[in-house]
Amino acid sequence: MNPNSNGAPQNNRRPQGRPYRGHRPLDTRVKHASTLSGSAPLPGSSSASRPGSTFSHSPRSAQQNRSVRPFRGNRPTSNATRAGQQGEVRRTDGVGGAKATGGKRRRGRTGERMRKSMTQPPLHHRMAETDPKLPVIPPLPSADAIRVIPIAGVEEIGRNMIVVETADDIVVFDAGLQFVSEESNAPGVNYILPNTKYLEDRVHKIRALVVTHGHLDHTGGIPFIMERIGNPPIYTQYLTSLMIAKRQEEFPHLPTIDMHVVKEGESFTVGKMTIKTFPVTHSIPDAMGVSVITKFGNIVITGDIKLAHVDGKPLEDEVAAWGSVGKDKNVLMVADSTNAEREGFSAPEANVHANIEEIVRNATGRLIIGTFASQFERLINVILSCERMGKKIVTEGRSIKVNIEIAQLAGLLTVQKGTIISSTEIDNYPADRVVILSTGAQGEEFAALMRIATGKHKSIRLTERDTVVFSSSVVPGNEISVQKLKDNIYRTGAKVIHYRTANAVHSTGHGNIGELIWIQQQVRPKFFMPVHGHHSMLRCHANAAVENGFPKANIVIPDNGTILDITGENTFIVQKEKAPSEDIFVDGFSVGAKQEVVIRDRQSLANDGMFVIIATVNVKTGRLRKSPDIISRGFVYLRESQQLLSEARILIKRTVEKHTENMNPLNLDYVKDELTETVSAFLMQKTNKTPMVIPVLIGI
């Protein structure tokens, strides 16, 4: 590696295949994370200058800085530099959490578009009440027993959370969210969170939240659940801490986060529980696994993992890291299963970098690369490649812009002045000297890549000389939207490259079954619990372990909320009762359990629309004073349904006057119920639809 003056690597080809991990800031005044009783502000800033977070860092000696693994970048070592970079990032909108909206924005008096505020008002928490009819969760079977609960993330992809509990302490590992899909059957809901009822009932025992890496399926729930679980301190690595703190800026009303930054290989103690960290390879830097030290042996939680390898042979870094974990006495391994259904080994990220670099070099027109904004290493590689080739970078998409700034703040990337230009400057450069990094490769309607493909982008129009690279796989459920996106691009005549048409331009962040079994054999646990994935993925992981000699009786395939109690070095109990695991919804600014009535009404409105009846009733005679008004939305086109409306008005008049005859005083609530049933049956008979019928009767 030939580091530049700021410590960022000039050579983006990383034969070791490991992610950038970077050096920590040198500051011996800051207490070690394992001995902190409180929290210290980030050097070079005050806790007040970074809303929603305070930091404590682990010191690193100069000798440690010289001996770290290659190709991992340097953290800023100057307080002034750090403070300036932090100020720059604070001025950028936060990471994630924003919903794309269509339509025209409001304009101010000057005609300028009014920017939507990225800060959120206080959240309304609907706390779950204890249901006496539900089975009571048994206490720990003994004072020495260790309880492990996958609260969520084992019957789905996303909203990962694992709880480790002893007689005195609870530590929570990860707090992710899940994005709402059609299968979620939850219209209008923003996100789905892990159920925290078990933790809320034991909030006095919670000592820490440990976050393994910065992806939203492991961090996205933090702003929404921290108040519910008592705002425990957060322990994580440097880049992840920056991503968490950045997102917290969108929620200024929340209490300040007590952030403790650790580095891979460190140990720290919370309560009476000691936790040791170790490096893992994933699709984002600063990913780590953890080992919880207990009297029966270590509980190894891998986080999301894959291997850096060459033709199925793990690199020396991997052998050393996992071999070190395997030297310990490990009683339980809790391991990622996302790609357990795929045979062999996944494509190394180093291959993807080499292939994309070749595409960048050979591009004869503009090159648009659509990828996930969280692919830090890939974004860094493209930027460094463009700098070497004298090409310009255009960033399209808020999350990519924010993550590039976070990478700069974290010391993972130093961008030369003039490398990144705005989209309005594209025409100032030859087409083959422009590379566009864009979000929206999943076909999101309002994302940058879709706007470019449909000709709605204000500065970028695709031509036959352009090439679009989909450097991402298709997330399940997005197949139709991605196909529409590709169709729109092909209509422009541009060339399309994706992971099925060329050498690897995307690599998963999760290991295939060959990698997972190799890792398990290095760790050598007594018991094994597959997590992170649908049940089929967990089952495939377990089956592969058995086929490779692991005892079937020592495997626990969990559901969300499964309670595993380790009672000895060779014994465990799977409790019949489960921790609460029902979905928790973020619905606007409300956080709580699913409200069946609300969701059912939304489904009805989405499917069949609404039919509103407004009628005035003479309170003396019970007769209608005039023909009722009818408002319909999403049901039928009124201009083409005049006959239906005429019949409906006659039926409404007849029904109201029939049920008010000889009624004194008038009971309009009773009449509304009868009117709803009668009109609903009529509309079903005439249209085979069941719109929501809403009668409004006004007594005059």
In order of 613, 666, 694, the CA distances from 700 in angstroms are 16, 11, 19
Residue 329 has pLDDT above 90, yes or no: yes
What gap in Å lies between CA 365 and CA 204, rounded to an integer?
60
CB distance 174 to 214 below 8 Å:
no
* Residue 42 near residue 238 (C-beta atoms within 8 A): no
3-class DSSP state for residue 652? helix
CB atoms within 10 A of CB 321: 24
CB 306 within 8 A of CB 347: no
Pick the range with the lowest mean pLDDT from 10-24, 171-185, 471-485: 10-24
pLDDT at 188 over 80: no
pLDDT tens for each residue of 510-541:
999 999 999 999 999 999 999 999 999 999 99
User: In terms of pLDDT, which residue wins out, 233 or 115?
Assistant: 233
What is the average pLDDT value for the chain, to the nearest integer?
82
pLDDT in tens, 432-454: 999 999 998 888 888 899 999 99
Confidence of residue 431 (pLDDT cuts 50, 70, 90): very high
What is the CB neighbour count within 10 angstroms for residue 539? 16
- Whether the CA torsion 467, 472, 473, 478 is positive or negative: it is negative
Task: Give the C-alpha distances (Å, rounded to integers) separating 544 from 300, 535, 561, 576.
Answer: 19, 14, 24, 26
Cβ proximity of 273 and 209 under 8 Å = no
Report H helices in 548-667: 596-608, 642-660
| Domains within the chain, CATH numbers bracketed | 140-344+509-578 (3.60.15.10), 352-506 (3.40.50.10710), 596-699 (3.10.20.580)
Could you report the per-residue pLDDT of 236-288, keeping only the tens digit for each?
999 999 999 999 998 888 889 999 999 989 999 999 999 999 999 999 999 99
Q: How far from each other are the two terminal CA atoms of the chain, in whole angstroms?
A: 85
Q: Sheet harboring 257-261: ordered strands across?
A: 53-56, 257-261, 234-236, 206-210, 170-173, 161-165, 146-152, 564-566, 572-574
Q: What is the pTM of this model?
A: 0.77
Find, among 441, 461, 353, the residue nearest to 397 by Cα. Answer: 441
Min mean pLDDT across 59-63, 160-164, 333-337, 624-628 is at 59-63
Catalytic residue numbers read 336, 510
> How confident is the model over 548-578, as pLDDT tens digits?
999 999 999 999 999 999 999 999 999 999 9
Per-residue confidence (pLDDT) for residue 279, from 0 to 100:
96
Least confidently predicted of 7-11, 541-545, 612-616: 7-11
